[in-house]
Amino acid sequence: MRFRSRSPYRHLLCPSARPSRRAEASRHASSVCACKSLLLALLGLALCAPARLAAAQESALLGAGPVLGSANSLPLASAPQGAAVQSDVIFGRNSPGPYPLTWKGIRAGSEEVWRDGVHLRRDDDYTLDAAAGTLAFTTPLRGDQIVRVTYRYDTPDAAPNKTAILMPLQLDLWRQGKNRLSFGTQYRLDKNGQEDKAGSFSALQFVGGARLLPGSELSSGLFLDVGNGDLLSRSGLRLAEQTKLRYANFGVSYTRAGAQFAQGSVSGLKAGNEILEANGQLTLMPNLTLSALMRQTTELLPPTASAPAADGVTTREFTQSLDFALPKDGGKLQAARTQTVIAPPDSDSVTRTTDTVSLERALAKGTLATARYEALTTTPDGEDKSGASYEQKTSFGLTSRPLDRLSLTGTFQNRIGTPGAEDKVGLRVETNPFARLRDLKFAFGWNDTFDPDGVRRSREALVTLPTFGFAAAKLSGGVRTTSAPGQEQLVGLVDGALRPLRYLEVSGGARLRSGTALTTPAPVDAVDTYNVKLALAPWKRLRLTGSLAVNPENSDGTIKPLESQKVGVETELGIWQLRGQYGIEEEYLATRRLNTLELALGLRLSRFDTLTTGYKSSAIFDTGLSAAREYTLSYARRLGAAFDLLLGSTVTLYDSENGTQWDKTDVKAEAKLNIRF
C-alpha cells in the first residue's frame, strides 16, 4: 500500500522542479510513516461526517475549493508579479467536467493548464469559462489523472467560486501493469453548508481495472455513501468491459446509481438510473464503418415513508448507423436509425423512431456544403392512437471562404410536422478587409423565419475597431433589428474598455433599445441597458473596484428591471489584510431593495500562521424586512512545505421585523487539510 498524493505526481504537476531520484527517495523514506498516520486520521475524520464535522461553504476567507496552494486567505488584488495569480489542482473524476476553480470572473486568456506534466492547449484540449470560473476538457479526465492550472484573478469581477468538494484521499491498494485497485474517501456538503440534502455525501470509493485478454479491458467502481438514509438508494456501481480488435470494437457495461446518489460529479454516474448497455463497431473497409448500440435505462424512484424504492419508466434504445468516408475530397456520408421504446410502469408504451441522413462534401477549395434529413415518428403501442405524431426536418448549409479575409455562411431549414410548417433562412458575412488592420472586423447577419404565426426577421451589423494607442482603448458595437407579429425593436450595441493610466481600468457597455418587446400579457416599451465597471490600483497593495448596472440583461435575453451598484476595496498593510464590498439592488416594478455588505480582516501571526475574521450581511426591504448576518473565524497553519491545516467556524443569524429569530441560528465548523504538490 502506498500513498499517491506526493511522490508520483510532484514532478508532473511542476515540470520546472523535477527532483532527483535519490533526493526523492530520501524524502519519501523519511516522511512515509508520517504521511500514512496523517491519512488514517483524515480517513477517520471523513467517516465521521454525519456529525456535522465541516461546513463546505467555500469562501475566500478560507481559500477553499480545489486549490492546494498557499494558506493566505486574502490574496492581494493588484500586485503585478504573482500576488494575483492562483494555482489550482484538479483531481480527475472520469468526467470531462466542468470542474470549478477557486475564483470566478478571472482574466480570460491568462490560464496555463498542465495534465500530468503535459501542457494543454485551449479549445483543442480544454475550454475555460472565465466568468463562471469553470474548466472543461474535450476528453474525460480519468480518476488517476491530475491537472494543475494557473490563472490571474485581477479583474473587477473576480470573486471566490463556491464549491462543495473537499480534498479527497486516495490510496493505491494494488497496481500491476494495467491491473489496479484503489480506495478513496470524500466528504462533501452542499453549497449552503447543509449535510442532510441530496447534494451531500460521505463516501467510500473502490475503483479498479484489469486486462483479462489482449485487447480487452475491464473497469469497475463501487461508490458507497455511509451517511444517513437508504444505503442502496444513496450508492452506485459501475462495471464495464471493452474489447478492441483490429477491425472491430465491442463493449458491454452496467451502471446503477440510486435515486439519492450524490456522487455523480465524482463518479460519472447519473443519479436515479440503472443502465445496461452493449455496443459494437465493425470496420468493413478503411472508409466504411457499421455501428450498433443497445441500451436499457430504468428510472429508480426514491423510497418514501409509505413505500420502498421502486422502478419507474423503462426506456429501451436500439441504434444502427453507417459512416462512409467519400474518396478524394474527404466528404462524409452518415445514416442512422434509432428506435426508442418508452414503457411507463402503469400505462401503455410509446415507440419513437428517428431516421437521419447527413452528407458533407467540399465543393471547391475553401467551400464546404452540408445536407441533413431527419424524420421523427411517434406511435403509441396501445389502442389509443391520439398521441401519434410525425415531424421531418430538411436543412442545407454552405460555408465558404473565397478570400483570406472573407467568410460566408448560409443556412436553410424546412420543418414539416403536426404543428405546421416552418422555414428558416440565414446568411452571415464576416470580413477583415485591411491586412494592416487585423483587429478591424465587420460582421453582418440576416435571418428570417416563416411559420403559421407570421414572419420573424432579424438583421444585425457589428464592427470591432482596432486597439487605439491612447489609453489602450478597445471599442465594438453595431445595430440589431428584430420584428415579429406584435414586436418591432431596434437595438444599438456599444462595448468598450480602456486603461488611461497604468493603475486604472474602465470597461462598460450599453444596449439602446427603441420600439416594443412582446411580453406577457401585452407588449411593453423596450428599456435601455447600461453597465460600467471600474478598477483602480494607485498602490500595488491597494485596489478599489466599483460597478453600476441599469436594467441588466440575462443570458436568455430577458431584462431585469433594477439598478445595481457595488463598491469594493482590497488592501494589505504589513501583517494586516482587508477586503470589503458593499452593494445595493433596487427594483423598479416592485418595492424591493437588497443591501449586501461583506468584510474580511486577516492577520498574519507568523510566516506559517494566519487568523481571519469575516462578516457578511444581507437585508431585503419589500413588504417587510428580512435579513441575515454571518460571522466567520478561521485559522490557517502551514505544516511544512506540503500541508496546510485550516480550521474555521461560522455563525449565521436571521432577522425579521420582530427581531432575531434565535431558533433558526446556524452554527457550523470546518476542519480541512490541504496537500500541495
Q: Which residue has the cell 484521499?
A: 169
> Residue 207: is its pLDDT beyond 80?
no
- Quick one: DSSP state of residue 387? T
- Quick one: DSSP state of residue 326? P
CB neighbour class for 37 (10 Å; exposed up to 12, middle 13-18, buried from 19): exposed
Sign of the C-alpha dihedral computed for residues 516, 519, 522 and 525 taken in this order:
negative
Q: Which residue has the higher pLDDT, 72 or 635?
A: 635
Long-range own/partner contacts, residues 632-635 (CB < 8 A, 24 or more apart):
632/59, 632/61, 634/61, 634/62, 634/73, 634/670, 635/609, 635/610, 635/611
Cβ neighbours of residue 492 under 8 Å, at least 6 residues apart? 477, 478, 479, 510, 511, 512, 513
Dig out the grid coordinates for 581 from the structure.
Answer: 464590498
Partners of 188 in beta bridges: 165, 201
> Residue 211: is its pLDDT beyond 50?
yes
Q: Which pLDDT band, with edges at 50, 70 and 90, does 228 fall under?
A: low
Q: b/e for 287-310, b at 16 or more Cβ within 10 A?
A: eebebebebbbbbbbbbeeeeebe
- What pLDDT is attached to residue 443? 96
The pLDDT tens digits for 407-446 are: 999 999 999 987 789 999 999 999 998 888 888 999 999 9
Mean pLDDT throughout 310-322? 91
> Residue 213: is its pLDDT beyond 80?
no
Mean of per-residue pLDDT scores for the chain: 79
> Residue 261: is its pLDDT beyond 50?
yes
Are the beta carbons of 166 and 97 closer than 8 angstroms? no
Mean pLDDT throughout 376-398? 89
Are the beta carbons of 36 and 6 closer than 8 angstroms? no
Are the beta carbons of 379 and 364 closer than 8 angstroms? no
Distance CA 309, CA 256 (A): 14
3-state secondary structure 503-530: CEEEEEEEEEEEEEECCCCCCEECCCEE
- What pLDDT is attached to residue 266? 67
The pLDDT tens digits for 347-360 are: 889 999 999 999 99
Nearest to 95 by CA among 269, 275, 237, 268: 268
- What pLDDT is attached to residue 567? 96
Q: Which pLDDT band, with edges at 50, 70 and 90, does 34 fall under?
A: very low
> How many other β-carbons are positioned within 10 Å of the β-carbon of residue 575?
11
Terminal CA-CA length for the chain:
20
- What pLDDT is attached to residue 69? 31
The pLDDT tens digits for 326-375 are: 887 678 999 999 999 999 988 889 999 999 999 999 888 889 999 999 99
Distance CA 169, CA 100 (A): 19
Q: Where are the domains of the chain?
A: 189-325, 562-675
* % of the chain surpassing 70 pLDDT: 78
Distance CA 458, CA 484 (A): 9
Distance CA 15, CA 10 (A): 9
Angle (CA) 588-591-592 rounded to 5° is 90
Coil/strand/helix, residue 661: coil
Q: Which pLDDT band, with edges at 50, 70 and 90, does 13 fall under?
A: very low
> How many other β-carbons are positioned within 10 Å of the β-carbon of residue 64?
27
Coil/strand/helix, residue 191: coil
* % of the chain surpassing 90 pLDDT: 37
- What pLDDT is attached to residue 586? 92
Distance CA 269, CA 236 (A): 8
CB neighbour class for 250 (10 Å; exposed up to 12, middle 13-18, buried from 19): middle
- What pLDDT is attached to residue 153? 86
Q: Which amino acid is at 626?
A: S
Are the beta carbons of 70 and 82 closer than 8 angstroms? no
Q: Which pLDDT band, with edges at 50, 70 and 90, does 611 fall under?
A: very high
Q: Is 0.85 topped by the overall pTM?
A: no
Cβ neighbours of residue 308 under 8 Å, at least 6 residues apart? none
Distance CA 2, CA 5 (A): 9
Nearest to 489 by CA among 528, 462, 520: 528
Distance CA 600, CA 581 (A): 9
> Residue 499: is its pLDDT beyond 50?
yes
> Residue 8: is its pLDDT beyond 70?
no
Mean pLDDT throughout 536-558? 87
Q: Which residue has the higher pLDDT, 448 or 97?
A: 448
